[in-house]
Structure 1
Amino acid sequence: MVGKFSRGFLTLSLVAGLSSCNSASQGLDLSSNAASANAQPVQAVVQAYCPQVVMRDQNAVYRSYAKGGQDNPDKLLYQVSFNDSTRQCTANETTITINLIAQGRVVQGPAGTPGSVSLPILVEVVDGDNIIYSQKVAYPVDVPVGGTQFIFSKADVQIPNNPGGASRFTRVRLGFDNAPAAKKPRRS
C-alpha cells in the first residue's frame, strides 16, 4: 500500500511541476518591443547534413604481433577495436567541420606487456566512391595488465560544404590502418 501511495504522490508531483512550467506569468514579459525595434533582421539557417560514421569489416579490428609472429595467436601483443562512435557537425558557407568521437578497447594478448602503444587510426570521409578527406592518426594509449578502454576524439575533420550541404552519400569511415609498414631502404 505504501508503494502505491508513493507512486501516486510522485506522479501527482510530477504533473503539478510540469503544469507550472506552462503557466503564463504576468510579471515576466519575454517580448521586448524596444529591443526588437532596434534588432537587425535574422537570416534563416538550414542545418547542413552531418555524415554518419561507419566502420568497414576489413579495418574495424587491429592486431599487433611480436616480431615474426604474424597471425600466430601465441605471439599476439594486443588487439584493438572500436565499440561505438558519434559525431557533431558545424557548418558555414564553405566548410563542414566534423567532431568525431569514438570509444575503443585494447585487449592484451598472450605475448603482450603493459605499456604505451600507438594505434594507427584511419579517418576518411567519402562521398560515394570518392575520398574527400583522409588522415592517419598515431593515437597513444597506455595499456595496463589485461587491457583498457579509450576515447578517441578528432575535432578538426573538415570537408567542403556544397550548396545544400553534404551529399546524402557522404560517410565518415573510421578504422585502423592495417597496411603493412613500408620497409626502409637499406643504405649501402
Structure 2
Amino acid sequence: MQTIKREFRSGGSGGRASLARLAACAAMLASLSACGSLGLGWGSGGSDPDAKPSAAGSIMQNIAMGGPVPAVQAKPAPVQTRFPSAVDQDVIDFDCPVLEVAPNGAATRDYGGSSEGGAQALRHQISISNLARECKDAGANIAMKLGVEGSVLLGPAGAPGTFTVPLVFEARIKDKVVTTRRENLSVTIPPNETRAFFSTVLADFSIPKADDTDLYVGLSPSGGQALRPPVHRKRRPKS
C-alpha cells in the first residue's frame, strides 16, 4: 500500500467565541446523517440540477486557480460527479465505477476522555463531504482520477492545531481488494479559527476492467478497523 502525505493550512482570521463554538458543534452533529458520496457541482455527471454554484467556485477549482476557499455544505442525497476535464470526453465503451464513501468511514471523532461525555467532550471531527471521479481506458485496466473534499471541525473541548486526515481508497471485486491506496493529509486550524478544509486528487488510481467493482474511500487511521465496502448493487449505466 502506497502512503502519500500532504499538508493544508487554513487562512483568514476571526473571533471564536464559546457560543460560536457550541453552535458550530451542534450544526456539525446535526449534519452527520448527511455525510456520504456528494457532488462537487462540476459538469453534468450526476450533479444536482437545482443547486446554485458558489460565486467563489468549488474548493478544488479555487485551489487550482488561486481563488478563495468557500465553505463546503453537505447535501442530503449522495450524488456522484465528474471532473471538469471528463465532461467533454467522448462516450467511453466501458463502465466507470462510482466512487462512494465506506459505510464506516464517512467521519471520525476524537473525544476528551471518552465519548460518554457527549457533545461537550468532543475535541474535533473529521468528515468527508464531496467526491468526484474520472475514468480513462488503459487497455486491460481503467485509469482513474479520484477527488475528495472534506473538513476538520473543532468541538467544545478542542483547540486549534494540526490534525491528520487518514484517507484510504480501495477497489474490491467480489470479496477481494484489488487496489488500495492510503493518503495521510495534514490539516492545520490556526488560532481563532474553528474549521479548516482539505481536498486531494489521486491522478493514478488503476483498477482492472471488471463487472461489479466496488470503489470506495473512507477515513481509517493506520492500525484501525478495516473499511466496509458499500452495500453491493449493480453498477450504474455508463456515463
Considering fraction of residues, name the structure with more strand: 1
CA contact (8 A) 1:136 1:177 kept: no
State which of 128, 139, 145 in structure 2 corresponds to 1:82: 128
Compared CA separation, residues 181 and 51, structure 1 to 2 (3 A): closer
Give RMSD over aligned pairs.
Answer: 2.5
CA contact (8 A) 1:104 1:152 kept: no
Please give the residue correspondences for 1:121-140 in structure 2 after superposition, counting only pairs within 5 Å: 121-140=167-186
Distance in 2 (CA, whole Å) between partners of 1:94 and 1:111 is: 51
State which of 160, 164, 168 in structure 1 corresponds to 2:208: 160
CA contact (8 A) 2:187 2:197 kept: no
Aligned to 1:63: 109
Give CA-to-partner distance per residue, 1:13-55, whole Å, 9 cap, x none. Answer: xxxxxxxxxxxxxxxxxxxxxxxxxxxxxxxx95332110111
Distance in 2 (CA, whole Å) between partners of 1:98 and 1:109 is: 35
Find out whether 1:173 has 2:213 as its counterpart.
no
Aligned to 2:199: 151
Distance in 2 (CA, whole Å) between partners of 1:46 and 1:110 is: 49
Higher relative contact order (CA 8 A, sep 6+): 2
Give CA-to-partner distance per residue, 1:134-173, whole Å, 9 cap, x none. Answer: 2222111122421122212222211123xxxx31x11211
Give CA-to-partner distance per residue, 1:60-109, whole Å, 9 cap, x none. Answer: 1111234x435533332211111121101122213212111122121111
CA contact (8 A) 1:62 1:178 kept: no
Identical pairs, percent: 27
Distance in 2 (CA, whole Å) between partners of 1:94 and 1:138 is: 29
Name structure 2 gaps, 5 residues minimum: 1-90, 226-239
Find out whether 1:53 has 2:99 as its counterpart.
yes
Distance in 2 (CA, whole Å) between partners of 1:181 and 1:174 is: 15
Give 3-state SS (helix, strand or coil) of 1:74's partner: helix
What amino acid is aligned across from residue 90 of structure 1 in structure 2?
K
CA contact (8 A) 1:81 1:105 kept: yes
Question: Could you tell which deviates more after superposition, 141-150 or 93-102?
Answer: 141-150
Give the TM-score taking structure 2 as reference length. Answer: 0.49
User: Greater CA radius of gyration, 1 or 2?
Assistant: 1
Name structure 1 gaps, 5 residues minimum: 1-44, 183-188
Structure 1 segments (4+ residues) deviating >6 Å: none
